[in-house]
Amino acid sequence: ETGVTQSPTHLIKTRGQQVTLRCSSQSGHNTVSWYQQALGQGPQFIFQYYREEENGRGNFPPRFSGLQFPNYSSELNVNALELDDSALYLCASSSGRDPTDTQYFGPGTRLTVL
Amino acid sequence: AQSVAQPEDQVNVAEGNPLTVKCTYSVSGNPYLFWYVQYPNRGLQFLLKYITGDNLVKGSYGFEAEFNKSQTSFHLKKPSALVSDSALYFCAVRAPNSGGYQKVTFGTGTKLQVIP
């Protein structure tokens, strides 16, 4: 069984640029959630995708967007990068969107915005 | 709105001693509660969860947690700490009626330092 993988591991961008982060969900999982973890903080929920559709969103502006593909892998896109977007971005997959389902996290992508 | 509080930024414990990492929550309805551990520069690893039933939940690596509804707490425990348990621990809550999606609210984390 393959776990959740994310790419790239690290990324450096400048303010105003756009970035795409990628996530491959665990085998058999159809639900992917994205989280932002700022330094010294707990993860903050960005949004969730279930069977290729966004079905929940946290308090993040529209410049944070995503996609989920037929194989249930996912992308997080961030436009017009700001310095405060510097964080660890975590992807989590689960076998469904039931609140009791456990989310399994990838290792994260460390984004630095200069 | 749901929230989680981890009142201790850091917990220090001697190797071999029992450890407790505290967590309290606020949510409408019966909560679903989770503990995750994060090692440096790594993602979160699932330890255990409480959904319903027995208030004492056993998880990975010898950890357990006790759900206390009256105190709205879900403290993480281990009878004998190992140096390798040193890491950042996150408590998380999810409401049962989350609108069909899995918004999980995390605490700010507690750093556990096990001293040899």
Contact B27, B107 (CB under 8 A): no
Q: What is the pLDDT of residues B14-41, one digit of tens each?
A: 999 999 999 999 988 888 999 999 998 7
A28 DSSP assignment: T
Which pLDDT tens digit goes with each residue over A65-83? 999 999 899 999 999 999 9
Give the pLDDT band (50/70/90) at residue B5: very high
- pLDDT of B1 reads 77
DSSP, collapsed to helix, strand or coil, labels residue B61 as helix
Instruction: Fill in the amino acid letter for B45.
Output: Q
Do residues B6 and A40 make contact, with C-beta atoms less than 8 angstroms apart? no
Q: Using one digit for the tens of pLDDT, what is the confidence trace for B63-72?
A: 999 999 999 9
Of the candidates A28, A4, A98, the one whose C-alpha atom is nearest the C-alpha of residue B94 is A98
Segment B73-87 shows an average pLDDT of 97
- Please indicate whether, in this complex, the C-beta atoms of B44 and A100 are within 8 angstroms of each other: no
Rounded to whole angstroms, what are the CA distances from A105 to A24, A59, B13, B63?
Answer: 11, 20, 27, 19
Q: Note the pLDDT of residue A70.
A: 92
Check pLDDT > 80 for residue A48: yes
Instruction: Indicate the average pLDDT of chain B.
Output: 92
Q: Please report which helix (H) or strand (E) contains residue B48, including its range.
A: strand B44-50
CA distance B1 to chain A (A): 12
Q: What is the pLDDT of residue B42?
A: 78
In single-letter form, the type of residue at position B10 comes to Q
List the single residue in A92, A99, A105 with the smallest CB-CB distance to B32: A99
pLDDT beyond 70 at B101: no
Q: What share of chain A is helix, strand, coil (3-state, %, to 5)?
A: 5, 50, 45
Q: What is the DSSP letter of A83?
A: G
Measure A43 CA to nearest chain B CA, in Å: 6
Inter-chain residue contact A56 with B99, CB threshold 8 Å: yes
**What's the mean pLDDT when you consider all of chain A?**
93
The pLDDT of residue B47 is above 90: yes
Query: With 60 as the cut, is the pLDDT of residue B75 above it?
Result: yes
Predicted local confidence at residue A97, as pLDDT:
78
**Four-CA torsion A59, A23, A80, A87, nearest 10 degrees:** 70
Look at residue A1 and tell me whether its pLDDT is greater than 70.
no
**pLDDT greater than 60 at residue B11:** yes
Name the percent of chain B in helix, strand, coil, to the closest 5. Answer: 5, 50, 45
A45 contacts chain B (CB < 8 A) = yes
Pick from B36, B51, B52, B102 the residue to mutate for testing the A interface (most A CBs within 10 Å).
B102
